[in-house]
Amino acid sequence: MTKSLPIFILVFFSHFLVAQTGGIQPVPLKNVKTTQGFWHDRVELARAVTVPHALHQCEESGRFDNFAVAGGLKKGTFNGARFNDSDVFKVVEGASYVLQNQYDPKLDHYLDSLITLFAAAQEPDGYLYTIRTINKDTTGSYDWIAGPYRYSFENGSHELYNVGHLYEAAVAHYEATGKKTLLNVAIKNADHLVKTIGPKPGQMVVVPGHEETELALIRLYRVTGKKEYLDLSKFFIDMRGRSDKRTLFLDEHKLGPSYFQDQVPFVRQREAVGHAVRAQYLYTGVADLLTLRPDPKDQAAVNAIWDDATYQKQYVTGGMGAREDGEAFDKPYILPNDNAYAETCAAIANMFWNHKMYLLTGEAKYMDVFERVLYNGFLGGMGVKGNTFFYVNPMASDGKNDFNKGSGAVRHEWFGTACCPTNVSRFLPSMPAYMYATQGNALVINLFGDTKANITLPNTPVQVTQQTQYPWQGNIRIQVDPEKSGVFPLHIRIPGWANGQAIPGDLYSYEDKLAKPIDLTINGKKSEATIENGYLKLNRTWKKGDVIELVLDMPVRRVIANDKLKGNQGKVAIERGPVLYCAEGHDNGGKALAIKMSGTQEFAPTYQKEMLGGINVLKSKEQNITLIPYYAWANRGANEMTIWFGKE
């Protein structure tokens, strides 16, 4: 069906699908433009530095060459590891978001040349996995393995994981350019999967070892309308705990089925277990599928898993996955600081999951978690200049111990396993797409930043303009310009931190939970700010030029951990607004780990434009202590760092 449809019909059909699903819909990236300030600087950094850097690294490391060799365009051997195709697709996805933010003909042409390689590497029936095409069927070493036949070693092969990232790149590229070149490659592969895998006689029963395909198939469905893609996503979810395709990988690497979230059927799962990235990609796919196909049993499972992960297994940064062994969730309340794993990819997956949970339920708590991860766990994974990265993100460092994968004390330009840099390169330019949503006739603002957003409500198009110094200040100006005056609800998320709640649940809380009322004016007139379920809800007749002004009080807060977090007993962390702070040796006489806080310790914020890309610095009034945002540490060489401080 899709192959013969012209682009304008596909565009219309995709919009029709969105309209028919109801519920909450994100405002597309193309409709949200950053204008200045914190997020504009970082979207520009992605365009000018991060994405070009990742493209260059993929080229230098032979990742592009693998497609050329597989396609018979050049002679050679396979370079790298079996999952390297996914890195390429993620960077293409990020580059496509860059095009959506600001068109660049040179980048557009460059992507066209890469897509030619992808199409050449694809086998006639749609199969695409360069390591197998080049090396043929093999049971070689771990990094080279493809298995004796297609999908025979899916727990370790990454065949389905790689093409999941292909689908996401294809949708992003199609939405950016209107071209179907990459979309056709993705559709051809997805159609191959639909024919090959499933419950019908003669089909294979395969469970993805590294989840991603589940959520990517749903995204491909939203553009193509092919119901079979939803069916296959659901099949992959339902077959968990029922697969016999894991024996070889488990025997060789001593990993249990919970590592793959394959221990019991999904509907019986209640805990976040196993590899934290794989797990959260699965949970993201389940939540997204539920917006299209409600299922009480799946919803009960994903809700319980979210409670387990958020209330018992999440770092104060929003990081997930405490264990280096298996890059996995640990047991409840096991969250070590100096050897925390908290992979950057897991932080990004946590944001994906929470955003889909928000779209499913409309509950503000999910965007509260999203925001915590955004400003701390995610931004901490990239250097302030946009071309260095962390793989793991500890809560404390002695400045000497270079943690697993060479990323604990020193940031690196690239890794042999490059999932984190490529994940950063695809998320960062897409960030504006998470700021706004519509819910029926309501316009929803979930995140703050200088933007112009063009939003279509059922009765009128509306332009929304934000101006703010957030996250450094709590003053937010929102101008509402409907094409025609009319009544509609406008919902503004008031972050949990502004109401005295550090994070949903009781894993972390503020010593002082008191919060000042929100200061609200509309067109210069003071108004009552009533918060309902985390949202300031305004329902009135809006006309062009209406201005809402909010002031969120931003005191410096002392964070304490649940007593069950043994390593943080008697300690405090410091926050202001959504930003978590740390002490780094560079600012504190070379020492950070020994710093203690008195019970009356006070800090004053000062904005330093030329420091670490522009940050608020917290300086103590009583002691000579300087704190910087956690995300900005390790940009001035290796030195001590800590988030948690003992009490005097």
Phi then psi for residue 435, to 5 deg, are -85, -35
**470 within domain boundaries:** yes
In a domain? residue 53: no
The pairing of strands 442-445 and 486-493 is: parallel
Domain carrying residue 204:
62-239
410 Cβ contact partners less than 8 Å away, ≥ 6 residues apart: 402, 634, 637, 638
Pair (70, 170) in one structural domain: yes
- Tell me which of 220, 239, 258 is where a domain ends: 239
**Do 535 and 560 fall within a single domain?**
no
Q: Cα–Cα distance between 114 and 164 in angstroms, integer?
A: 17
Find the length of the chain.
648
Say if residues 229 and 190 touch (Cβ distance below 8 Å). Answer: yes
Is there a single domain that holds both residue 190 and residue 213? yes
Matching residue, tokens 């003053």: 475
Give yes or no: residues 588 and 464 share one domain: no
The residue-averaged pLDDT of 268-289 equals 98
pLDDT in tens, 621-647: 888 999 999 999 999 998 999 999 999
Specify if 294 maps to a domain.
no
pTM: 0.95
Task: List pLDDT tens digits, range 426-480.
Answer: 999 999 999 999 999 999 999 999 999 999 999 999 999 999 999 999 999 999 9
Question: 334-346: per-residue pLDDT in tens?
Answer: 999 988 999 999 9
The average confidence (pLDDT) of the chain is 92
Quick one: which of 317, 318, 341, 345 has its CA closest to 329? Answer: 341
Distance of CA 358 to the CA centre of its chain: 14
In a domain, 104, yes or no: yes
- Do 586 and 522 lie in a common domain? no
| Domain at 488, CATH number | 2.60.420
Q: In the predicted model, is pLDDT for residue 588 greater than 70?
A: yes
123 and 217 assigned to the same domain? yes
Does residue 331 sit within a domain? no
Residue 1 belongs to some domain of the structure: no
Q: Is residue 560 part of a domain?
A: yes
The C-alpha atoms of residue 280 and residue 319 are separated, in whole angstroms, by: 12
123 and 209 co-located in one domain = yes
Among 216, 239, 262, the domain boundary falls at 239
- Extract the tokens encoding 594: 């020994």
Start-to-end Cα distance in the chain: 69
Would 3 be classed as within a structural domain? Answer: no
Query: Are residue 469 and residue 523 in the same domain, yes or no?
Result: yes
Q: CA nearest 151: which of 189, 94, 180?
A: 189
Q: Where on the phi/psi map is residue 462: left (φ > 0), alpha (ψ -120 to 50), or beta? A: beta
pLDDT at 571 > cutoff 90: yes
Q: Outline where DSSP puts E strands in 22-113.
A: 24-26, 32-34
**Does one domain contain both 599 and 543?**
no
Cis peptide bond N-terminal to 489, omega within 30: no
Same domain, 566 and 467: no
Q: Between these two residues, 483 and 402, which has the higher pLDDT value?
A: 483
Chosen domain end from 187, 207, 239: 239
Based on the structure, what is the number of domains in the chain?
3
